[in-house]
Amino acid sequence: MRVIRSWGGVVENTPDGLPVVDRLASPDNVIIATMSSVGFGLSPAAGKAISEMVVHGRCLFADLSAIALGRFAETPSDWRERAGWIAAGSPIAEATAGGAR
Amino acid sequence: MTLDPRSIADKAPRPERHVPVVVVGAGEAGVAAAVAAARGGAQVLLVDEHPVDNDMMAMDVPLYFGQRMQESVRNRALMMERVVEANPGLAEAHEAGVDVQLGTYVWGAFVNGPSVRELPGPMLGLADDRRSWLVGYDRLIVAAGARDVVLGFPGWERAGAMGAAGAHALLTRYRALASKRMLILGSGSLALATAALALEHGIDVAGVVEVGDAVHGEIGAFPTLHGVPVYLSHTVKEARGKVGEVESVVLVQVDAALEPVVDTEREIACDTICWALGLVPNVELLHLVGARLLFASSRGGWVPQLSDVMQTTAAGVFAVGDCAGVRGDRATAREQGRVAGIAAAQSLGANLSPLPARRRAEGDGPAVHAYWQQWLQSLVHVGGWEVNVCQCEEVTRRELVEVKPPRYLKWDSPQMNARSLETILGDGPVNQDQIKRLTRAGMGPCQSRRCREQVGLLLAQSAGTTIDRIPLPSFRPPLRPLPLNVLWPADEPPAMREQWVSWFGIPTQFSPHWEAGMAIAEPTAQTPLILSDE
C-alpha cells in the first residue's frame, strides 16, 4: 500500500463544539452557517435551514434557537486559553489576542 | 491554566535532528553546494534518493525507467556501491565533512505560514526503505534535477518506452540498463548525448527521430553517431511487440502541417524507444516550501524566481542546477551550487570572502514548449484521440478534452455529455487541477510524472491558449509514492497518539441541540469528551 498524496487543513471549532446556523438581526441580510470541526453529514439539513431562513426569515422544520450566534455574546475573547486549547503566550494566542469572538 | 489534554497544542512532532544546511540532490550542483557550505564552516547534510528501490523504479519514479532495469537493481548493496563509484563528488563531499545519506527520499517539507504557526521550525520529511523521519533545517538548498517530458503514442504503455534521464541514470549510475537496441526521439543535445552514451555502452542505436525537418543539436560534436540513421520529418505511429513489450516501432513521415504522408510507414526493430525531447525542472519540493515559481519555456517550464545568489522567495531556501532551470551544463550547475553554498554559510555567520557576482551568462536554451507542442500535434494526427494521455488512470486524449467522468463509473448522462473543455472554459481559464478532479488524469501512482506535461500541452492546444497560461498543477506530499509502513509515523509523540481522535476536549460537542445549558460563560477543560463508543 503506497501513499501518493495527502491533504491538510485547518480544523475550526466553535467554543461549545456545536454548529451556528442563524440569521442575524443586524444586518438582517446575513446568514451564518458553520459546523464545528465535523458536520459533513449535516450539510443537507443545513442547506434546507439556510434556504428557509432566506425565504421565510426562519427555519420552519426545527427550532434552531439553541444554535444561534447570540449564545456567544458573553463569551470572553480569550476563551481558547480558558478552555485550555492553547497556552497563553503561544503564537496562536498572540495572533488572536483581542480577536473576534 | 493547564492545557486541555486533548488539545494538539505543543504536540507537533519534533524533528529527530537539526542540521543548519540541508542539500537535496547529489548531482553536480548539489555536491558543489554541500562542499562550499561545509568549507564555509557550516554543518551540512546532503541527501540523495539514488539508489532508488526496484519497486519505485517500476512505477517510473523518480525517472522514466520504462521497465528497462536489469535484475541487478534488486541488489541494494551492489547498487549502493555503483551509485557511489559513479559519483566522485560524494567522496569529495565526505572529505569536506558533509554528512552524505544516499537512498534517502525527501517526501515532504513543513514550514510555518498563515495556517501553520506551531512548528518548532522548518522541517523536511525524509525516508529510506524502512522508515520516515523529520529533519529540521535553517537553510535548504534544493538541487533536485530534472525529469523527462514524454508524449503518448499507441503502445507507449509497453515495457521499453522510457525517458532519456531514466536511461542516463540506468547507464551511468546503476550500470543496469536492460536494452540492446534503442530508437531515440528528438535530435537536440539531450537526444544526441543519449545516443552517444548508448553506443558507448554497447547498445545499438536504431536511429534518431526528429519531427522537424532538421537536426536540432550539433551532430558534428558527436563523431560516434556517424552512420546512425536520422529520420527527419518523422513521428511515431505505434510501438509493437508481444504482450507488454516493445519489439518494434512504426515511424511515419509527416508533411509541413505535421499530417502523415501516405505509404511512408516503416517498422524499425528495437527493444527500447527513448524520449529525449527535453527535460522538466523538478520543482515539487520548491512548491511545497512556498517558493514563487515563474514560467520560462527556455528553462523547461516552471522555475523558481531567484536572487543573484540562487535564493528563492521562500525564507532560507536556495535552488541550484537543473531544478532552477534546465541548462544541462555541468559547469553552470557547479557554479550555481558553489554560489548558493557560500551564500547559505555566510547567512549563518560564516566569515567568507565576498561572493563573486553570479555569472549572468545564463545560456538559456530555445523555448522548448513550442517544440513539444509540434511533436504532440504530429502524434495526435497520426495516433488519434483514443490514445491514453494518463497511463495510471487510463484516461484517453478524447476523455481529457471532453472532460469525461472516469470510465469505471459507467456514468452516462446528457448533462455530462454536454460538458466539454469549451463549456468549462466559459467559467474561466483552464485549470489542470480541476481537470484532474473531473477526469482523474494525473491522479495515479506515478504522481503525474508521465502525463503532467502532455496533459498541460493538450489542454493548452484544445483551449486555444499557450501552456504558460495554465497554472502550475499542485504537488502534494508525499512527493514519492512511499509505502504506508515506511511513511507511518513511528515517532509520533504518545500524547498525540492517545488523543488522535479529537483536536480539543469540548464537553458539549455531541450534546443534542435541544438540551439546555450549552452556551459557555466559563468553559471547563477537563470534562471528558463524550465518545460514541463509550
Contact (CB, 8 A) for B97 and B116: no
Of A5, A18, A84, the CB nearest to B7: A84
Instruction: Return the sign of the alpha-carbon dihedral for residues A90, A92, A95, A100.
Output: negative
Q: What is the DSSP letter of A82?
A: H
pLDDT (0 to 100) of residue B514: 64
Same domain for A4 and A48, yes or no, is yes
For chain A, say whether B118 makes contact (Cβ under 8 Å).
Answer: yes
Residue B301 has pLDDT above 60, yes or no: yes
Same domain for A60 and A85, yes or no, is no
pLDDT (0 to 100) of residue A98: 53
For B86-104, how does the pLDDT look when each residue is reduced to its tens digit (9 = 90+)? 999 999 999 999 999 999 9
Of B481, B503, B510, the CB nearest to A11: B503
Same domain for A55 and A99, yes or no, is no
Give the count of Cβ contacts less than 8 A between chain A and B.
Answer: 115
pLDDT (0 to 100) of residue B522: 46
3-state SS class at B230: strand
Same domain for A19 and A54, yes or no, is yes
Angle, vertex CA A7, rays to CA A3 and CA A13, nearest 5? 140
For B147-184, how does the pLDDT look when each residue is reduced to its tens digit (9 = 90+)? 999 999 999 999 999 999 999 999 999 999 999 999 99
Please give the ipTM for the structure prediction: 0.86
For A41-80, how does the pLDDT look when each residue is reduced to its tens digit (9 = 90+)? 999 999 999 999 999 999 999 999 889 999 888 888 888 8
Q: What is the 3-state secondary structure (H, E, C) of B451-515?
A: CHHHHHHHHHHHHCCCHHHCCCCCCCCCCCCEEHHHHCCCCCCHHHHHCCCCCCCCCCCCCCCCC
CB within 8 Å: B447 and A4: yes
pLDDT (0 to 100) of residue B117: 79
Residue B353 has pLDDT above 90, yes or no: no
Q: How many CB atoms lie within 10 A of CB A28?
A: 9
CB within 8 Å: A72 and B3: no
Q: How many CB atoms lie within 10 A of CB B488?
A: 13
Which of the four pLDDT bands, split at 50, 70 and 90, describes residue B499? confident
**Distance (Å, rounded) from C-alpha B445 to C-alpha B448?**
8
**Distance (Å, rounded) from C-alpha B429 to C-alpha B468?**
12
Q: Which residues of A fall within a CB distance of 8 Å from B510?
A: 17
Q: Which residues of A fall within a CB distance of 8 Å from B507?
A: 17
CB within 8 Å: B508 and A37: no
Residue B335 has pLDDT above 80, yes or no: yes
Of A3, A83, A84, the CB nearest to B487: A3
> What single-letter amino acid sits at B136?
G
Q: Domain of residue A86: give its range.
A: 75-101
**Distance (Å, rounded) from C-alpha B424 to C-alpha B422?**
5
Element (H, E) at B217: none
For chain A, say whether B490 makes contact (Cβ under 8 Å).
Answer: no
**Distance (Å, rounded) from C-alpha B397 to C-alpha B377?**
12
**Which runs of E-coded beta strand occur in B145-221?**
146-148, 161-163, 181-185, 204-210
Residue of A nearest to B513 (CA): A66
CB within 8 Å: B523 and A82: yes
Same domain for A31 and A59, yes or no, is yes
Instruction: Return the sign of the alpha-carbon dihedral for residues A34, A37, A40, A42.
Output: negative
Nearest one of B332, B448, B431 to B389, comparing CA atoms: B448
Same domain for A92 and A54, yes or no, is no
> What single-letter amino acid sits at B247?
E
pLDDT (0 to 100) of residue B134: 96
Percent of chain B with pLDDT over 70: 93
Point out which residues pair with B319 in neighbouring strands.
Answer: B142
Write out the three cell numbers for B409. 463509473
Indicate the burial class of B464 (C-beta count within 10 angstroms; 0-12, 13-18, 19 or more). exposed
CB within 8 Å: B117 and A95: yes
- Mind telling me how many Å the CA of A78 is from chain B's nearest CA? 11
Contact (CB, 8 A) for B47 and B23: yes
pLDDT (0 to 100) of residue B354: 63
How far is residue B226 from each of residues B186, B219, B221, measured CA to CA in Å? 17, 9, 10
Interface mutation target, options B450, B504, B522, chain A, most CBs of A under 10 Å: B504
Burial B227-259 (b: 16+ CB within 10 A, else e): ebebbebbbbbbbbbeeeebebbbbbbbeeebe
Q: Which of B374-378, B503-507, B515-519 has the highest mean pLDDT?
A: B374-378
Write out the three cell numbers for B300. 523547461
Nearest one of B14, B11, B32 to B23, comparing CA atoms: B32
For chain A, say whether B523 makes contact (Cβ under 8 Å).
Answer: yes
Q: Which residues of B fall within a CB distance of 8 Å from A71?
A: 518-519
Residue B351 has pLDDT above 80, yes or no: no
Instruction: Return the sign of the alpha-carbon dihedral for residues B303, B304, B306, B310.
Output: negative
For B428-440, how does the pLDDT look when each residue is reduced to its tens digit (9 = 90+)? 778 999 999 999 9
- Phi and psi torsions of A42, nearest 5°: -90, -5
Give the number of domains in chain A: 2
Same domain for A63 and A79, yes or no, is no
Nearest one of B467, B304, B488 to B374, comparing CA atoms: B467
Contact (CB, 8 A) for A79 and A15: yes
pLDDT (0 to 100) of residue B358: 59
Average pLDDT estimate for B41-61 = 96
**Distance (Å, rounded) from C-alpha A80 to C-alpha B506?**
11
- Mind telling me how many Å the CA of A29 is from chain B's nearest CA? 25
Q: Which residues of A fall within a CB distance of 8 Å from B517?
A: none
CB within 8 Å: A17 and B510: yes
Same domain for A57 and A88, yes or no, is no
Residue of B nearest to A75 (CA): B521
pLDDT (0 to 100) of residue B227: 94
List, in order, residues 6 or more apart from B274 with CB less than 8 Å away: B66, B162, B163, B164, B167, B182, B183, B184, B185, B194, B198
Residue B523 has pLDDT above 80, yes or no: no
Q: Which residues of B fall within a CB distance of 8 Å from A61?
A: none
Angle, vertex CA B386, rays to CA B382 and CA B391, nearest 5? 105
3-state SS class at B268: strand
Contact (CB, 8 A) for B260 and B237: yes
Average pLDDT estimate for B265-269 = 98
Interface mutation target, options A6, A7, A16, chain B, most CBs of B under 10 Å: A16
Same domain for A55 and A85, yes or no, is no
For B359-388, how does the pLDDT look when each residue is reduced to its tens digit (9 = 90+)? 544 556 778 999 999 999 999 999 999 999
CB within 8 Å: B9 and A87: yes
**Distance (Å, rounded) from C-alpha B392 to C-alpha B406?**
12
**Distance (Å, rounded) from C-alpha B191 to C-alpha B278?**
8
Nearest one of B118, B26, B530, B426 to A89, comparing CA atoms: B118
Lowest mean per-residue pLDDT among A24-28, B185-189, B272-276: A24-28
pLDDT (0 to 100) of residue B525: 45
pLDDT (0 to 100) of residue B509: 77
**Helix, strand, coil share of chain B (percent; to 5):** 30, 20, 50
Q: What is the DSSP letter of B317?
A: E
Same domain for A7 and A46, yes or no, is yes
Of A5, A66, A87, the CB nearest to B513: A66
Average pLDDT estimate for B278-304 = 96
Percent of chain B with pLDDT over 90: 76
pLDDT (0 to 100) of residue B502: 72
Interface residues from chain A to B (CB-CB < 8 Å): 1-7, 9-11, 13, 15-18, 36-37, 63-64, 66-67, 71-72, 74-75, 79, 81-88, 90-92, 95
Average pLDDT, chain B: 91
Contact (CB, 8 A) for B410 and B400: no
pLDDT (0 to 100) of residue B531: 33
> What single-letter amino acid sits at B147?
R
Residue of A nearest to B112 (CA): A91
Lowest mean per-residue pLDDT among A4-18, B147-161, B183-197, B260-274: A4-18
Look-up of cell digits 539514488: B50
CB within 8 Å: B521 and A15: no
pLDDT (0 to 100) of residue A101: 38
Same domain for A63 and A15, yes or no, is yes
pLDDT (0 to 100) of residue B363: 58
- Mind telling me how many Å the CA of A71 is from chain B's nearest CA? 5
Contact (CB, 8 A) for B136 and B224: no
For chain A, say whether B352 makes contact (Cβ under 8 Å).
Answer: no
pTM: 0.91
CB within 8 Å: B520 and A91: no
How far is residue A79 from each of residues A17, A96, B9, B47, B521, measured CA to CA in Å? 13, 11, 15, 45, 9
Contact (CB, 8 A) for A82 and A76: yes
- Mind telling me how many Å the CA of A79 is from chain B's nearest CA? 8
Same domain for A84 and A36, yes or no, is no
